[in-house]
Structure formats: C-alpha cells, structure tokens
Structure 1
Amino acid sequence: MLSNPLVAAGLFAVGGAAISRRRTIDRSAVELVHAPQTAAVGSGGDSLRDLVATSCPSLCGRFVPAAALPTADLQTCYNGARERLARLALVEYERELIATADGGTIGLDWSPPFARMPEGARPVVVLLHGLSGGSQEAYVQLTARHLTAAPYRFRAVVVNYRGCAGVPLTTHTLYNGGHTGDYGAAVAHIQRRLPGAPLIGVGYSLGANVLTKYVGEQGAACPLRAAVSVCNPYDLEASSRAIERPTLRNRYLYEPAMLFGLLRLVRRHRKMMDTGPVRLDHDALAKATTIREFDELVTARAFGYKSSTDYYTQNSSAQFLPRIRIPFLAISALDDPVCPPEAIPRDAFLANPHLVLAATQFGGHLGFHESLSETWLPRPIGEFCAAVFERSP
C-alpha cells in the first residue's frame, strides 16, 4: 500500500495498484509500501502505519539530493571521498572484543564510551556495517552521532565483523552475507552487559542482509524491539549481476572497489585463513576481477557451499521477510547502483503487516546526501527508533 505524501499528491490504492489522479508526481516524495493493515507496535495500540505517519516526518516527506551530488554515482561515492579526504572522526568509540563459541572474535565499538555514559537501561541501537567496512564508515559514524546526541541520547554500538576494522581474525574463516551467528552472539552479549536495555538493530548493505535474515530466523522470539534495513540487496544473485553489467562505472569503479576491500582482508589475514582445512588458491584469487569469482574461490569454499550461486540462494534475505514478527523499516533508493530496485520484494511488504518499505527516487547506495555537509538518512532512523522505544513495554 502507498501512503502519506503520495496519497496527498493524488495516489490511492485499489486492489494493490496505485492509480494517479494527477499527471505530475513529486519524485522527491518518499514512497511508503506496507500491508493494508499493519501490526500493532508496543503496548500503546498504534499500528506500524500510524507510528510512521505520526512520529516519522522524514518518512512522510521528501528527500532532495544535494545540487552538487545529483546522480546516484556521486551520492554513492561521496561517502568514501568524504571519509578519506577529511579523515572523518565524528564519533568517539570504546572497543570491546568478545569471543564466539567457535573461537572467533567480534569487535563491539560503543558510543559514547562507558566513562561518559555508565552502564544502565538506556535504549541501545546495534549497528551492522556493510561489505568489508566497519565502525569508521561515514554512514555509520553519521548515524551513531545523530542517535547519541540530543534529543535522543541513545547508546550506539557497532558490531564489526571478524577481521574487519582492526578486529583480529582468530578463526580460519571471515564472515559472509548470511552468517547471522556472530550478530546473534553480539546481541546476546549486549543483553547480558545491559540487562533491561531495549535494543533496535540497524544494518547497512550486506549488514542489512545479515540483519534481515537474523530477524526472520528469530521470528516472534527476536530479542530486538525493531529493526531498520538500509540499502539491502535482498537478492545476492541479483546484486551480483547488477555490478557485473558491462558498464564503465561497474568495470572501473564499483566492482574494483568492492573486490579490493575483500582481497585486502584476505591478504591481511592469509596466515590465519591458511590454517583451516580449506586451502585457498591464492594464485587464482590474485587474478580475480569480480565479486562472484571471490565468492567462488573464498566464500563458497570456506563455508561449505556448492558454489557462489548456492551461497547467494541460501542467504538472500528476501526469503526471510515473511517470517519477521517485529516492526521492520526498510529504506532503499530506487537509483541504487549496487542493489537493483527490481530486487526489492514489494509483495512481501504488502503481505507482512510487520514491514514497511520507504523508497526514495534518489540517494544511490548509502548516500542520501542533502548537501555536502548534511545527510538525510540518520533522521528517519532516529525518528523510527525513538517512536518504537517510546512504545516499548
């Protein structure tokens, strides 16, 4: 179902189809997709649709890209450029390393440090970064800064994958887009350390796929009060095909950059990875030019999948959406060059009353820059988290 700014602009739903009463539609309006009747949130009786309509003005409004960043490619690339050129350091973290049952190590970056915000029952937002990233990424820092400042003053904690962001690799495997065990271990640890504190999960890109799969696997038993998925690929095979398209931006920008981050992790942790039962073909890996080749040579072999296609099929998060039973907000840009809009499973959002999709026409992949200094993304995340926490029992 479509609602709010689009309804105001003259759209109404009839049998699941959107009919326009006007020829012109504000393309900067945020499109909301959800079931005709959404589930209740917390103990107040408000439905998920009502919560968004009354407490999330950013989702009921517009996103207008910065005049200096009008295209999806500029929106996407500005994150990395800003981080590297300005050596972005917006958030002060306190790192905690925790061990998993199989001897792995996960890095938790807490903000603010506990010396400035002692342990207690303050709401916690658990952030999960994208492919080969970490807590230093611009999109993570900007959101963490927003959530920990007034008026929210939540506690934020970033879950850094094995081997990422300076976390030591203590097992022979890294991570993958469907490996939810580590996120679950992090959530359980946070619950033990901060008993009584309500938790909401936020995942970006590959981290959004992991978070969505985790929430679906947990179903009604999910320990999170809600979840926010940002720029989720939903279909890993479709995302792989999207960045394999023979375009200049894929050949010289996106795929090389993403592959470089993965290969750098393998080079950094080669000694530990080679202690495992699976012997990696480093010569072939050095010649790899696509993410699919990396997943064939490393991910599929290390985690026991038959092939990259088998890995993509089993771990694509779209198939887990019907099983979600907590308030779930998904934010996607329809011009995302990495996560194609045709992969967004709109039918799942129309069928499951616990889900709402917020789609913008612009924003690229993890961009959403309104100006060179401001980004829109933290605002709807903050509004949604605050509304859910306020209604938590």
Structure 2
Amino acid sequence: MALNALPILGTIIAGAVLLLRIFKYVKQCRLKLIADDHSDEEFAQRAGIDSRGNTCKNIKTVLETHCPLLTDPTVASMVPTPYLCGGMLQTAYCVNIALKSTPQSEITYDRESIIMSDKGTMSLDWYPERRPGAQCTRPIAILIPGVGGSSYEHHVRSMAKLLATGNKKYRVAAMNYRGSGRTPLTSSKINGAHDTDDFGDILQHIIKSHPNTLLVALGFSLGANILTRYLGELKDKSPLAAAVALCCPFDMEIAGRSLDAKSFLNDNVFQPNLVASIKRSVERNADLIRSSDVGYDVDAVMQTKRMSEIDSLLIAKKCGFKNCWDYYRAASSTQYIQYIRTPYLAINALDDPVTPYRGIPLDMFSQNPFTALVLARHGGHLGFFSGITPKIWYLEPIKEYFDVFAFKRE
C-alpha cells in the first residue's frame, strides 16, 4: 500500500514545486514604479484634481490611487506569453504581426489629409470617425507611431480600438508621418526624431478643428521620443492633458548602437524590416527627394542595409550633422524630462533589445513630480504580449491612466 502511494506523493510534491516556481516567477514579473513622491503645488493646481474632487500631490499619487493595473501588487504584473518569454522573441513577434488583422485590432479608419505650411502632407487616421467642431464631445487620443511605422501597425490599431470602446470612449487620431502610411510625400522634408514641429502643427490643427476638446497623446518608440521632446520644449504651455511614452529611446545613441550591433535578429528581422520600409518610401518619391537643395544621394540610400546608414544619408545630412551618431546624440530626449509639466508616464521593458535599460534616465523620473516610469521585466520592444494566446498587455493600463485625466470633468 505504501509503495503504491509513492507515485501519487511524488506527483503531489512535483506539482507543489511547480506551483511555487510559477508563483515566484509571477512575483518577479511585477511592475516597478519610479516617480517623485514629494508634494508639488504646481502639479496639484495643473493636473491634480480628479473626478472625485480629490487633490493628488504628484503623478505617483495619481497612479497609486487610480491605476491599480500599474501599481497594485496583486494585479500590476506583465507575465509574458510562455513561448515569448524573452525580449528578442517579444520584439520579433511584434514585427511579424505588424500588419495582420486580429479581433483585437480590426478597425476601419476615416482618413484626413493635412497640407503643411511647406506644402508637405501628413495624415490623421480617425477612429471611429472624424467629427470636427461641436460634434466632437469625446476626448481625443493622438497616437504617434515609431520609425518606419504608421497607423496601420497592429499595436496602433489595437490601442485605437480599445480607446474607442467601453464606458469611457475616446475619438482616436492616429498620425502618419510624411511619406508613411500611404501618405504621399509632397515636399522634400523628411521627418527626424528630433523634429517636433510637425507634431506641434498637427496638434494645433486638431485644436482648431475640435475646440474645447480635451487631448491626450501616446507615442510609440521614435514617436515617444518626439512626444517627450515636445513636452519638454513647451513646459507648462503644452495643450495635452496627459501623455504616455512607450519604449522611448531616451538616449538615442545607445539605442542606435544596440540596433546596429551584429546579431541574428538585428541582421535578419529588425534591420531588414525597418530599412525596407524607408526604402519603399524613398523609391516612391525619388524624384522629389533628388530635387531637394540638401543634395540627397538616393542611389546610395537604396544600397543601404542598416538604419544607421540611412540616417547618415538622410536625416544627418539634412540637419548638418557629421553622421548618424552625432544626430542621435542631438535627438535624444533625456535632457527634456526635467522640464515636462504635463502628467507623463513612460513604460519600458528591461529586456528591450532596441532601447536598452542602460539608456533609461532613471534619476530623472525621481526628480520631477509630473513624470513616472513603469518598468516591466519582460516585453521587448513594443511587444508586451501576455497570455497563452498572445495579447498586448499595456492596452488596458494605458487606457486606465488616460481615463484619470480625460474624464476628470465628469
């Protein structure tokens, strides 16, 4: 009888050990919050009144009070999909499904083309549809894609769909840069990570078309860098009620060298996809680009294999930098964090292979009551896939955060 019980006992012990390991692993996947916990009168006056009439003294108080998905130890975790447990796998999966349609991302945009002051063209893809003027009663969420990206990417569409549904609904405006997202290139200007002018002009266009409408913004990767610089430049003059920067390359030189390093995924997944996206736009608009006074070498661009080469030939050349590394150093957003006076949340993953942990200015977030940083152990670059069937984790937490500021009038 005792011998027959041994296999059962062994199974129970093995199961208990497995459960303990799972519990320990989930505990290690809890989010880490870095934020200034000092009281700040300016924050309380500008952004600290919530929908319940309470006054929050800093963004850390806001998060701990109203954003359990980011701060409550019982639920604030990013447990990765079991077969996507590394940053490289998370990032590669994100790239692989970039243009795929899933129930999480299936939407139809309403496009608005915008002619800029230099006759260049940008576009806003609205969801569920554009309603200018008094017809727009919902807050507007502006989504800013990353390098080579557009409103059509899976994570952008997924975020748009979630924000536009539920009890608290937003009208979403997903931005497309010049020459991206099927937006024609009608001037020789090419966007860079340091140039906030176009984003600022787009914001003013939205404000003019939708007066008295509350605005929030979310930047992905390079879009997060632009958003961070914009907020730091404007300081307390920003028209945004709240902002989120996802996988921001704060130190763009560190991010650029990480992406440029020789590795299987860099050489076979990340670089080919990014470079191909830029080349398609350059090829479609070769004559216009050649006509620029800058003197672009389009043929050389079409021969490149890495983003550092493209940035040296296009952005660095246009802006007068010696090479892409000088451009990356100048384009970094780290030094702008201290000046931000808009409730600002950054979300980064410790295993991000594109924007490495060593490039995140941790100390900056503990010195500005308007800024907070949430770190996840896993997530890669723009991945953050969780569940047996991979779904994007950060959608609900970001909406929860935006809701605090977008609906505090209610």
Flag whether TM exceeds 0.5 (same fold). Answer: yes
State the match for 2:196 in structure 1.
180
Tell me the SS of whatever aligns to 1:58. helix
**What CA deviation, in whole Å up to 9, does each residue of 1:325-345 have, x standing for no partner?**
110000001100110110000
Which runs of structure 2 are paired with 1:162-201 in the superposition (5 Å)? 162-201=178-217
Counterpart of 2:95 (choices 65, 72, 80) is 80
Percent identity among equivalent residues? 33
Cα gap change, 1:118 to 1:164, in 2 (>3 Å): farther
State the match for 1:374 in structure 2.
391
Letter of the 2:313 partner, please give it: L
Q: Matched residues in 2 for 1:24 and 1:273: separation?
A: 51
Which runs of structure 2 are paired with 1:1-393 in the superposition (5 Å)? 26-37=27-38, 39-40=43-44, 41-43=47-49, 44-47=54-57, 48-60=59-71, 61-84=76-99, 86=101, 90-114=106-130, 119-371=135-387, 372-391=389-408
Tell me the SS of whatever aligns to 1:298. helix
Contact preservation (8 Å) 2:26, 2:79: no
Q: Matched residues in 2 for 1:342 and 1:392: separation?
A: 39
Q: Matched residues in 2 for 1:363 and 1:295: separation?
A: 26
Tell me the SS of whatever aligns to 1:68. helix
Cα RMSD for the two superposed structures: 2.2
* CA displacement at 1:324 relative to structure 2: 0.4
Aligned pairs, number: 371
State the match for 1:8 in structure 2.
none
Q: Matched residues in 2 for 1:278 and 1:202: separation?
A: 32
Cα gap change, 1:247 to 1:59, in 2 (>3 Å): same
* CA displacement at 1:227 relative to structure 2: 0.8
Q: Matched residues in 2 for 1:116 and 1:310: separation?
A: 41
* CA displacement at 1:84 relative to structure 2: 4.2
**What CA deviation, in whole Å up to 9, does each residue of 1:19-40 have, x standing for no partner?**
xxxx999220000001132643
- Using structure 2 for the length normalisation, give the TM-score: 0.86
* CA displacement at 1:68 relative to structure 2: 2.8
Contact preservation (8 Å) 2:125, 2:173: yes
* CA displacement at 1:81 relative to structure 2: 2.3
Q: Matched residues in 2 for 1:229 and 1:335: separation?
A: 17
* CA displacement at 1:306 relative to structure 2: 3.5
Contact preservation (8 Å) 1:42, 1:391: no
Q: Matched residues in 1 for 2:201 and 2:98: separation?
A: 29
Tell me the SS of whatever aligns to 1:267. helix
Q: Matched residues in 1 for 2:132 and 2:340: separation?
A: 35
Q: Matched residues in 2 for 1:25 and 1:126: separation?
A: 33
State the match for 2:9 in structure 1.
none
Structure 1 segments unaligned to the other structure (5+ residues): 1-22
Cα gap change, 1:57 to 1:117, in 2 (>3 Å): farther
Q: Matched residues in 2 for 1:178 and 1:242: separation?
A: 19
Q: Matched residues in 2 for 1:348 and 1:111: separation?
A: 35
* CA displacement at 1:163 relative to structure 2: 0.6
Q: Matched residues in 1 for 2:356 and 2:254: separation?
A: 7
